Structure formats: C-alpha cells, structure tokens
Structure 1
Amino acid sequence: MGDNKAATHPHTLNQFFLWRLVRRTRQVMRLLFFSLLISSLAFIILLLYLKARPLPSPEVYNISTLYDDEGNYLGQLDHNEPRDPVHLNEVPKALINATLAAEDKNFYSHHGFSLSGIARATLANIKAGHVVQGASTITQQLARNLYLTHDRTWTRKLKEAILTAQLELHFSKDEILEMYLNEIYYGHGAYGIGQAAKYYFNKKVQDLNLAECALLAGIPRGPYLYSPYHHLGRAIAREHHILDLMAKNRMITAEAAREAKKQTLTFAPRTHPKQMKAEYFRDYIVQTLVTRYGLDEATVRHGGLKIYTTLNAQMQQAAEQSVSRYTKKVDGLQSALISVDPHTGEIKAMVGGKDYSSSQFNRAFARRQPGSSFKPILYLSALENGFTPLTRIMSKPTAFLFHGQEYRPSNFRGHYANRPITLREAIARSDNIYAVSTLMKIGLQKEIDMARRLGIRATLKPTPSLALGSYAVTPFEMAEAYATIASGGIHHPLTGIKKVLDPFGRPLVQEESKPVRVASPAHAFVLTKLMESVFSPGGTGGRVHQIFSRAAAGKTGTTDWDGWLSGFTPDLETTVWVGYDHDKELPHDQAHLSQYIWADYMKQATRFQPAKIFPIPQGVTSVYVDLDTGYVATPECRHTRLEYFVKGTEPTEVCPVHRTKTGSSPEQPSLLKRVLDWLKSF
C-alpha cells in the first residue's frame, strides 16, 4: 500500500508526465530534423537535376491561319516579320522600371515565384468572385511564351512551374528580363520591345521617353484592350496607372510622374503590309476569340491556330467591290456592309470601311441612328397586336401628346397622303405619322421588347421618336434583327467562327448556334410581304429594282447623317450603311448610295444561288382585297391586290361598293390571274 501511495503522489506523476513529454518532443524533433534533411536533399537533387537538364527548344509555331466557309485557305492572321532584338543595356531604365511596376515589382528578389503576388491575387479574386488578377511573374510569363500553349490545365501549370525553375537556374535575372522584353507580345503583330517601339512611336528603344515607356509597358497585359489605336482612353489610363505605381515604388519621383502624364503622345501612322482580304472581318475574329472565348491574343495571332470561319470568299470579294465602286469617288464618305445567312446566323461577308489601310475602325460596329430602317421592328410588334396589312391611319400633320408635351413628327419633305393609308402604304412610303401613331396605339414598351427579341442590344428609350429610329444601333445589330425576320422569326446569334483547332489538331473552340423562336412564322411572313413594296415602283427603295430583280424585302432609312438599307432574299440578309465618321451631314443623293451598294452586292452574291420566292408558312391565308375600300374584292372592283394575312385577321365582308350585278357572292380571281398579279409585284 505504501509503495502504491508513493507511486501515485502528485509530484511523482508530474515528473513522469514531464519525462514522457520531453521524450516525445525529442522524437518529434528528430523526425522533423530527418524530414527536413530528406526534403532538403530531395530539393537539392531536384535543383541539380533541373540545372543539369537542358531547357527544351522553344516551340515556334506558324502564324495562325484562317479558312473560309468551305474549308479553303483564306490567309494568315498576321504577317511574318522577324524580331528586332535589343540588349538590356540598350533599354531605358524607365522602360525596365515601368515593366517591373506593371508586371512583377519583386522580380529581382524572388526566385521565379512570388508568394506575395499569389496571396494578393487570391484575395482579389475571392473578393471579386471571379478571376480579376493574375499572379504570374515575369519568369513564369517567359516560360509560358517560350514553351507552352495558354490552355488552363493543371498539366500545363506543372510544366510551367518546372520550366520557370529551370529558367531561374540557367539564366541570370538580367538575361531573363532581356529575353522577356524581346519575346512578349505588344499587339498589332509586334513581338518584342524593339518592334513595339518602332510600330507605335517609330523610334529606337533607347530613344523612348518616360511616358512612352509607361504606355508600352501597359500593353502586354491586354494587347487589344490597351491598344492606343483601338482604345486610346483606356491605354492612356493604364499608362497613368503605371506611372503612379512607379512613383509608389520609388522608381521615379511623384513630380516626374505628373510631368509624364501631361505629355501628349504622338503615335506613328499605322503601316499595313499586304495581307489577306477581309481585314475588318479578320480583326473581328481576333476580337471575338479574345473577348468572347478568353483566348490570349498572342496565341490567337501567333499560336499556329487553324481558324475555320463562316466567311464566303466570293461574297466577301463582291462586298468589297460594291462598297469601293460607290464610295471611292466621294471624299471622306464611309460605308459598312454585313451579310449573313438568315438560316444559321453565319456571317458571309463583312466590310467595315472603304479603305482599311487608312482607317481600321470597323463601322459594322459603329452606333448610328437607323432612321426608318428601324420601322419593321415596330410593325412586327404591331402585327402581333392586332394590326393587319389593311389597318388604316390618317397621314397628315399630327401632334402627339407625350408626358404633357407635344411631339410633332413630319414626313420627308412634308409629303402627306392627307387620307387614311394602309400599313402596306406606310411601309412603302415610309410614312412617319403612321409609324408614331402605331407606336402610341400598341404601347412604347412593346417595340423595345420586340427589338430585344430580334437581337438589338443598344440603349432604347420609350419615347415617341423610337418609332422613327432615333436611338443609335450598329449595322451588326440591324443585320441580326433582319435575319431573324428573314428566317421566319427564328433568332440566330450572328457568328463568324465555326471552329478553332490548336497546332496539334485539338479543338479549342466549337461554335454551336442556339436558335430561339422569337416570333411566329405567320407574322414574320406577312411583314416580309409588306416589305416587298419598298422595292416596288414608288417605294423608297425603288432604285434597287433597277439592278436587282429577285424576290426581296427590306427597308430604307435616312437621317441627316446616315443612309441605310437592310433587306433580304429567302437565303441571304444584307445590311448596308453609308455616312461620315464625324459630324458631317449626309446629302440626300449620297444617302441613296446605300441602295446601290446593296443591290450591286446582292446581284453578285446571289448569282450562284437558285432564285426563290418566300415560302408561305402555315397560319397564313391570302385574299384579294379592294384597295379602295379594304373589303374582299369582287369582279367589279377596279383596284385589287392579293394580300396576305395571319389566319383569322383577314377581311371576310364583301365589298359593298362594287357588288356583282347579280348580287350573288363574288368569286375570287382565277389561279391564272393570281399568278399574273404575283408576277406584276416584282
């Protein structure tokens, strides 16, 4: 008992537990020591292995190539131009510091990986809820650009880590930075700072000033987004941000940063070596792959990609010829043309201006007032809300009350019918009073809703002038809207890409159209038949019929600054805009050039397509009507027309003015007369 009491004495227990704690601590320390020793040896062996292992030769891929809608070679995306290498001692200190401030301020203190950068980027991305900031060091970027593709896989990240370590082991920091500056992509086909200095400022690298250095250092983060030729304001804002970073990191003084911000940058005129045609379309493809699909621009341009497009080479040539033919003699006049297959949404031709070498701005994406070419959107909504081709509204000077104020639209040159006119007449004559009256009757929001359904994304406001196309849209949007009408109410998002393959034939992008029905085929067809009148004698687009005689529907639009024609055959939709880039009014005779361009292009583009008429869908019926009274025509009626209606909206009452002499029910004209009347409509 005495021994047991001694064994359980508190002092003895404390000694026992202390002894066990010391023993356990020694074991843990020995384990940690051996683990650290083994890890250190393994790390040293890995470093020795990586040091002894030669770096692989950089993968040099071909320039990315484009193919047309039939898979035929279309051209290279960029021209092959050799690098203009520079030594680091030729690079201004300001450019080195600007690059470090923009991309990797701790470059000279880390060993290829920046833990603080990773932590900072992680916090920023978590806070934003998505990736807004990267953590790649200059060495990592160099490894990626020299040896790897830009796909976001764990395998690629592991390879990048290994190659980054090898670069740090094989080269000094100055050598890595020199390679980086000679390799990185600065946009517009300029690889390396030597080419970039020449391209943007027509200078040698050593002659760049502080402001120029800061601007160039900001471009590699997003060569398209920060291009001074595409987005000057954004490029200058990034330049100023980099100057602030340089001052914050004590690379320059705050005063030097302020002075550099005040400097006006003078950019060199852009040079464009002879390349493939369809330059505006090519730029659109690059922008789409970068902004929509998230590919790196350097990879898009110089990654050996095979880009299969929707462009039709013959149609593109016809589009360029037509635009040039009618605009080249008018100084300063510009034009845009976009042509699409309404059944798929595939872009077949795109022209963004009459001379790419003098202006690379793609006017297919310029926001301009569409004028009366916007009216079919209104009238499709009206047909859905009770209107028929025979709905009559008085055409005379009219004041509309809106939010307590009067709105007084007017017709072109003050021409009014001064009588009730039908919807068909209103479309053919482009009557503004009819359009605003229609909008006020059906409700302003309905036209906006229809515009959205058809593919218009521009800002639209519920005001009476909406009926007259007062809110700016792009030719691209108008082509998408009209193509939806042409397809019988099925909306296909416009696309210029079918698929993209990497250098090894693996798919990077596979375009899959997702069509959505947004209007009934019956309403779309009735509107189409009404729009045919625009190209008939007396219609605002009557000039078209002098050149192009196939079945077609469309609508003209004219403002003080813009001339439009959007129209389609059963298989091809085309939108044409003409005007001036700056605030210069467009004479009325020049506005008509949009019609000649459209007709000339469509004549060439459809010459290998079979002639078709618009197929009549289910839910449509045709009735001969008396144009004077709007009733069902009798043989005694002198002015008749075969008119199409959505079933259930057609007139059923016989003309009371021209009843048959016998008083019996009238017979509709014979099939032969119907065919003859149909032929007369062309």
Structure 2
Amino acid sequence: MTDGMDRHTSTQPIPPMTPAFGRWWRRMRFLLRWASFCLVVAMGLSFLTVLYLKSKPLPPPDIGITTKILDVRGRAIDQWDQGEHRDYIPLQELPQPLIQATLAAEDRQFYEHHGFSPRGILRAAWVNLRDGRVSQGASTITQQLARNLYLTHDRTWSRKWKEAVYTSQLELHFDKNEILEMYLNKIYYGHGAYGAERAARAYFGKSARHLTLAESAVLAGIPRGPRWYSPLDNPKRAKQRQAAILDAMTQQGMIPARAAEQAKNEHLVYATPPKPGPARAPWFRDAVLHEAVSRFGLDEALVRNGGLRIHTTLDLAVQQWAERAMERNLATQPDLEGALVSIDPHTGHIKAMVGGRNYQRSQFNRVFAKRQPGSTFKPVVYLAALERGLTPATRFESKPTAFTHDGKTYRPTNYHGRYADRLISMGEAIATSDNVYAVHTHLTIGEEEAVRMARRLGIQSPLNPVPSLALGTSDVSPLEMVQVYATLAAGGVHHPPTAILRIEAPDGRILAQSKPQGESVLSPGEAFVMTHMLEGVFQPGGTANRVGQILHRPVAGKTGSTDWDSWLSGFTPELATTVWLGYDQHRELPRGTSRLTHQIWGTFMRDALANVKPHRFPVPHGVVRVKIDPQSGMVAGADCPRSVTAYFMEGTQPRQTCSLHRHEPTDNKQTPWWWEWIKKWWSG
C-alpha cells in the first residue's frame, strides 16, 4: 500500500530550462519592465500635459460679432465688424434640426470624442479613397473651431501642431455645448455671411430660429465648400448635399425617414443676399464710437466687434433733410465746406449731424471744429446783461465809437459801416446785429460776465475776455453754439448733447444708458425775454429776414459772419440747429455766402418740422408785456407815432410814459369855421 501510494504521488524531475528559452524569457521580462516604465512615464506626461494645457489660458475667442447702430426708431444706420458680417445667437435659440444637421454633416461623434476622432479619420480616409476625391473631411468641429479662431489655413506642420494644442485646450476649457455654439457663430457660410444667424438671413431672409428641417440641411451643408454648395450659385449640388445630410440624419436616428423625404421634396425659396451700401450718417456714426469709448468707458474693440446694439438719438428722416439741404446748396461751391448739427432742446438728443460735404473725401467732422462764431455769440453777452440789470429797453448810441480798455483803444465797426446814429434798444441791436451796442454792453457789465455765462450754456472752449469777445472772436464749435440756443428753447434748462440712448450686449444686457442731465442755468423769464428779442432777427429788417420767407412758424436765432466764417444758430420750440459754412484753409468767403447759410438752415428746418404742428414760445410766469416807444425807450403813449412790443422781467419794465410826442396847445391855433359862423350869427 505504502509502496503503491508512494509510486502514485511521486513527481518526475523538471527538465532543465534550455539556454534559448532562458534568453527569451529574460528578454520578455526586460521588455515588459520597459513597457511598464514607458506606460507610467507616458501617463505621467499626459497628466502633466493636461495640467499644463488646463492652466495655460487660451487667447480670447476672436468671433468678431457685428455691432449694429440704430436710429431712434430702430432703423439701421450702419454696422461695425472686421469684414465678417455676423449676428451672434445662443445655442439654445437655434432649432434642433440645424444642430443635428450640422453634427451629421461635420462631426457625428462630436459628443463622444475629446477633440480628435480616430474613427472619423478612418471613415473619411475610406470614403475619400472610394470616391477618388476629398468628399469628406476628417477634422472634428473642435479642430475646425480652433483653426478658425486662432490660426491661418496654411498646410504646414507647425500649423497642424498648433491646431492640435488649441483643440485640446478648447476641449479642456469649454464644454461641448459652448464649443458647438462658438462654431455655429464663427463658421463661414458664403456670400459674406458668418455664423448661422447671418447665413439664415442671407439665404432665406429669416432668423435661424425659424429654419425648417429642409432649410437647416441646406445650410449645414454649405461650410464644407461655400462656393461649391451655395444654393444660390450651385442649386443642384446644394440639393444633393442636402439629401446626403438628411440620409445621414436618418441613419443616426436623429429624424424618421418620412421626415427626411418630406424635407427633400420641400420647395425652398431663397433670398437675395443684401449688398452692403454706403454708410448712412457717417460723421454721426464716428461720433457714436467716440462717445461710447470716452463717455461710457467701453473698450473700442468691444464696440466695433462685440455684437452690440447701439440705440442712438438720430432720426434718419431728419438726417436725410440735413444732408439734402447741405448737398443742394453747396453744389455750385466746389471747395466750400459746411457743418450742421440739430438737437432736441428738451433732451439734448442729437437728431441730425453733417460734418462736411463729402465723407469719402474728408472724414473730418466740422461739427467739432473750432471757428470764430461772430455775432452768434452776442446772445451770450446779452443774457449776462439781463442778469446784471440791463433790459430790452436799455439804450446805447449806434455810431462810430472808440473804447478804451487796459490802456488800449478799440474801435469796432458795424457791417458795411451802417449805424443808426441815435440811441437804440437791445432788441433793435440784436435784430440789426449792431456791433457797437454789443461792445457797450460787454464793457458795461464786465468782460468776465460773458465768459461765466458761456460756461453755463455749454461752451467749454477757451474764451479771451477782451472787448472783441462780444463780437465772437474766440473760437468755438458748432456743437457748442447749438447748446446755447437749445438752452433758450428749453426755457433756460441746459441738456448736454448726446448721441447714444443705450448700448445692449448680444444677450440683451444694458451696458450703458444715457440718463437725463438737464440743469437749470437761466430763469425761464430771462430765457423768454432773450428769445423774444431773437425773433426779431427773422422779421423784416432783421439780418435773417429771408429765412422768414422760407419757414412760416415761430422761430428765433442769430446770424454771424466774419471774413472766414458764416453762421446761423436758431431754434423753434421743438428743434435747435446750427449751420456753419467756411473753408478748411481759412480762406476769405465769397460774397453771398451768408445767403447760402440762411438757405441751408431755413430749408432744413422747414422740411424737418413739416409734420410738426407750429407752437409759439410760451410766456412764463414773471414776465410782463409792454408797448414801448423805440425812440425814447419808455412806455408808448397815445401820441407816439410808433410802438414796439417788448417783454421784461416783472419789476424791470419801464413805467414812465413817453412824452417826446405829446402835442402842446399853441396861440395860433385856428378856430373851427363853424364856431366863427355861430359867433357872427349871435352878434347879429
């Protein structure tokens, strides 16, 4: 038994390992050790690479969305972009068929891979080999986005390496939906349309939000070759591409086969892509950019390419009348330049702006240029005088006069040497633009008073407080002058001019908004008293009487002329406008330039206010109306041959009745014939 069991459990000796097998075994163990080491190193390097790429910030995505500038009624003025016309749209607002069609056409495993698709590469290689041409791309959506955001399209190894790096970073820094949203807003669809929203409008005349399945499949097929698959240029190829995408969507279970067949048979109506036209109101558009950056502190790149919607104060209809008035009246003056700015006096909103006669020739905006305003500055002096106790009945002599100031003699002259050679009132001096009266007033109240008043009315340019300041010898801009007259139209309330109502981000957030900033700088009474005197400028005998023949409504303002500049600043209760004409090189103006200025101002105001009911300037509380004798400046009596209506701040009006024209009884007064007959009859 024992022997049997021993025989059963005994083991045979293991044959010794052959030398060849030993060498093989040692080699395998060595290779396994090295493979394990390399695998660990590779995993470590991969981990470090991921950490590095995750920590390294990506350059800001350069999608460059089109910024739109709109007028006060929402009409498009212009747009800014980098040549890529694009309207950003969030992924959640895009129709599901467009998203599915894009994935079926460009990257079927988009939500499965991490930026690179080996299966996609193999499939594309097989399809291209089978078709004998490159009919399917191997790049994923993430790779295409990396290339379009950060790289050129050259075929170099360095570019391919950078593309791989950026692709990995995109996958690490953004989730899949964010990447797809950027792609659908960045990709080029042909005919100048970038992004799905602009493409939908270009091809179908509608927002991408409202695309059908059939339209979505056509649109999704275009980015592979915008010229090759454009339904406008190659409708047959576009239709074939649409069918292939619909079949792919069916195979992947995105849509039922019946829906695909219906989409294939749907009749599509295509739009004509709009051709970009010339900019509307280009000087105003430039002013909008400046205001957005300087006043609201927005970055210029954001304003130009951030997909903003800038709602402005401009009224394109009013702007059209301004451009037409300027163009028609300067047609025969080849080098004469001009500027026009018009604002709502009750808000400061700029309604029209023309900075020259040809933007293509000169982008310089003369609305901001500094020139001598001439007599348009005089109301500033007279407003200061009203505050210092002078009245519309205050009289100075209109005759050649020498004034002494700081030991120097100053001799102002009237236009063409015309003087009344008598005492005249402030109202008459304004209507006839008497220079001697203006200097008398300026020196009577003190030169600094006019400077202080100018600052309150919106003039910030340097002003030299000398006698000639009363005649407008310090340079100011048309935008500053229009504020002076707008303040009068608003009853003494100054509103800083603004071009922007609000600025919206692509998602609708308000980035900036204008707020009312009206400040009372004059009493309503003083503003009205000055306004009434300025109405005389447009009446017979006034320097702008020809405008009264064009514009049949209450209007006030002042003309101004120097050898180099021609001005007219004026207002109605609804609109304040300044027009300037001159040469950029400060050449002397030809005769008759003032007529052109008046014609431009008058025709513009007539047309701009054609649909606005005329209103009189309201008489505020605290103002009294008096009939005065222009010769004496006192209350007109029954014997005065002529009287004029003047308004005064209550308490400053003249109270003494004129006695210059009162008839006194005389000794040689003749007895009526009938009285002589009665006396003879009575005496017998």
TM surpasses 0.5? yes
CA deviations over 1:594-618 (Å, ceiling 9, x no partner) = 1110000000010111110000011
Q: Superposed, which structure 2 residues align to 1:372-521 within 5 Å?
A: 372-521=375-524
Is 1:524 paired with 2:527?
yes
Q: Secondary structure at the match of 1:592?
A: helix
1:146 positional shift: 6.0
Task: Give the counterpart of 1:536 among 506, 530, 539.
Answer: 539
**1:278-357 to 2 correspondences below 5 Å:** 278-357=281-360
Q: Superposed, which structure 2 residues align to 1:208-223 within 5 Å?
A: none
Q: Following superposition of structure 1 onto structure 2, how do residues 54-133 of structure 1 map, counting pairs within 5 Å?
A: 58=61, 60-78=63-81, 80=83
In the alignment, does 2:566 pair up with 1:569? no
**Contact 1:336-1:363 within 8 A present in 2 as well:** yes
Other structure's SS at 2:592 match: helix
1:365 to 365, 368, 373: 368
How many equivalent residue pairs?
450
Equivalent position amino acid for 1:435 in 2? A
One-letter amino acid of the structure 1 residue matched with residue 333 of structure 2: V
Answer whether contact 1:634 1:660 (CA < 8 A) is retained: no
How far the C-alpha of 1:303 sits from its partner, in A, is: 1.1
User: Secondary structure of 1:467's match?
Assistant: helix
Distance 1:317 1:78, change over 3 A: farther
Residue type of the partner of 1:502? A
Q: Could you say what secondary structure the match of 2:599 adopts? A: helix
Q: Which residue of 1 aligns with 2:652?
A: 649
* Secondary structure at 1:588 match in 2: coil
Q: CA deviation at 1:623?
A: 1.1
Offset of residue 295 of structure 1: 1.6
Which amino acid counterpart does residue 388 of structure 2 have in structure 1?
N
Do the aligned partners of residues 296 and 605 (structure 1) sit closer, same or farther apart at CA in structure 2, a change above 3 Å counting? same
Q: Secondary structure at the match of 1:434?
A: helix
Q: Is the 8 A contact 2:423 2:631 kept in 1?
A: no
Amino acid at match of 1:528: T
- Stretch deviating more after TM superposition (287-296 or 275-284): 287-296
Stretch deviating more after TM superposition (631-640 or 455-464): 631-640
Counterpart residue type for residue 80 of structure 2? L
Q: Could you tell me how far 1:313 is from its partner in structure 2?
A: 1.1
Aligned mates of 2:414, 2:512 — CA distance in 1:
49
SS at match of 1:349: strand
Taking the aligned partners of 1:406 and 1:44, their CA distance within structure 2 comes to 89
Deviation at 1:630, TM superposition (A): 2.0
Does the C-alpha gap of structure 1 residues 600 and 164 become closer, same or farther in structure 2, counting only changes over 3 Å? Answer: farther
- Between 1:574-583 and 1:584-593, the stretch displaced more is 584-593
Structure-1 separation of matches of 2:167 and 2:416? 71
* Equivalent-residue separation in structure 2 for 1:344 and 1:535 (angstroms): 25
* 1:290 CA displacement: 1.6
Q: Do 2:64 and 2:82's aligned partners in 1 also have CA atoms closer than 8 Å?
A: no
> Max radius of gyration: which structure?
2
Counterpart check, 1:606 vs 2:609: yes
What is the CA distance between 1:73 and its match in structure 2? 3.1
Q: Distance in 2 between matches of 1:606 and 1:293?
A: 31
Kept in 2: contact 1:76–1:275 (CA 8 A): no
Q: Is the 8 A contact 2:635 2:655 kept in 1?
A: yes
2:620 matched residue in structure 1? 617
| Aligned residues of 2:395 and 2:633 also touching (Cα < 8 A) | no
Residues 425 and 630 in structure 2, CA contact (< 8 A), matched pair in contact too: no
Deviations for 1:358-401, whole angstroms, at most 9, x for unmatched residues? 11000000100000010011011111111111111001111111
Deviation at 1:275, TM superposition (A): 2.7
Match of 1:20 in 2: none
Shift of 1:354: 0.7
Deviations 1:124-152 (A, max 9, x none): xxxxxxxxxxxxxxxxxxx9x969xxxxx
Counterpart residue number, 1:553? 556
Give how far 1:588 is off.
Answer: 3.2
Q: Deviations over 1:574-605 (max 9, x none)?
A: 00000010131112311331111000000001
Query: Is the 8 Å Cα contact of residues 376 and 472 (structure 2) preserved in structure 1?
Result: yes
1:636: Cα distance to partner?
2.8
Identity %: 50
Mapped partners of 1:629, 1:52: distance in 2: 88
- Please tell me whether the aligned partners of residues 554 and 565 of structure 1 are also in contact (alpha carbons under 8 angstroms): yes
The 1-side partners of 2:297 and 2:166 are apart by 24
C-alpha offsets along residues 298-339 of structure 1, whole Å, 9 cap, x if unaligned? 211111100000001110000000010111210111110000
- 5+ residue gaps, structure 1, are 1-40, 84-142, 148-161, 171-182, 184-271, 663-682
Matching residue of 2:638: 635
Q: Take 1:378 and 1:621, find their aligned partners in 2: how far apart are those partners?
A: 22
TM-score (norm 1): 0.62
Aligned to 1:128: none
Measure, in 1, the Cα distance between the counterparts of 2:661 and 2:56: 100
Q: Do the aligned partners of 1:436 and 1:464 also contact (CA within 8 Å) in 2?
A: yes
Aligned partners of 1:635 and 1:660 also within 8 Å = no
Q: Deviations over 1:606-642 (max 9, x none)?
A: 0111110000011100011222222222333220122
Shift in CA distance, 572/164, structure 1 to aligned 2, threshold 3 Å: farther
CA contact (8 A) 2:77 2:281 kept: no
Q: Distance in 2 between matches of 1:63 and 1:82?
A: 6
Provide the residue aligned with 2:596 in structure 1: 593
CA distance in 2, matches of 1:594, 1:297: 36
Alignment TM-score, normalising by the size of structure 2: 0.62
Distance in 1 of aligned mates of 2:49 and 2:599? 72
Whichever residue aligns with residue 276 of structure 1, its letter is A
Cα distance in 2 for partners of 1:571, 1:639 equals 33
Give the superposed CA RMSD. 3.3
Offset from partner CA, 1:15-46 (integer Å, 9 cap, x none): xxxxxxxxxxxxxxxxxxxxxxxxxx999658
Question: 1:474–1:42: structure 2 CA closer, same or farther, 3 Å change rule?
Answer: farther
Q: Which amino acid aligns with 2:545?
A: G
C-alpha spacing 1:374/1:146, structure 2 compared with 1 (3 Å)? farther
Alpha-carbon offset, residue 655 of structure 1: 2.1
Q: 1:513: how far off?
A: 2.2
CA distance in 2, matches of 1:444, 1:52: 66
Q: Report if aligned partners of 2:345, 2:489 keep a CA contact under 8 Å in 1.
A: yes
- After the TM superposition, which residues 182-193 of structure 1 pair with which residues of structure 2 at under 5 Å, given as runs? none
Measured after TM superposition, the shift of residue 487 of structure 1 is: 0.8
In the alignment, the residues of structure 1 paired with residue 386 and residue 452 of structure 2 have an alpha-carbon distance, to the nearest angstrom, of 14
> How has the CA–CA distance of structure 1 residues 46 and 375 changed in structure 2, closer, same or farther, with 3 Å as cutoff?
farther
Counterpart residue number, 1:257:
none
Does the Cα contact within 8 Å between 2:78 and 2:285 map onto a contact in 1?
A: no
Letter of the aligned partner of 1:71 in structure 2?
G
Which residue is equivalent to 2:581? Answer: 578
Tell me: CA distance 1:530–1:367, structure 2 relative to 1, closer, same or farther (3 Å): same
Counterparts of 2:507 and 2:315 in 1: how far apart (Å)? 26
AA aligned to 1:48 is: L
Does the aligned pair in 2 maintain the 1:340–1:572 contact within 8 Å? yes
Amino acid corresponding to residue 374 of structure 1 in structure 2: F
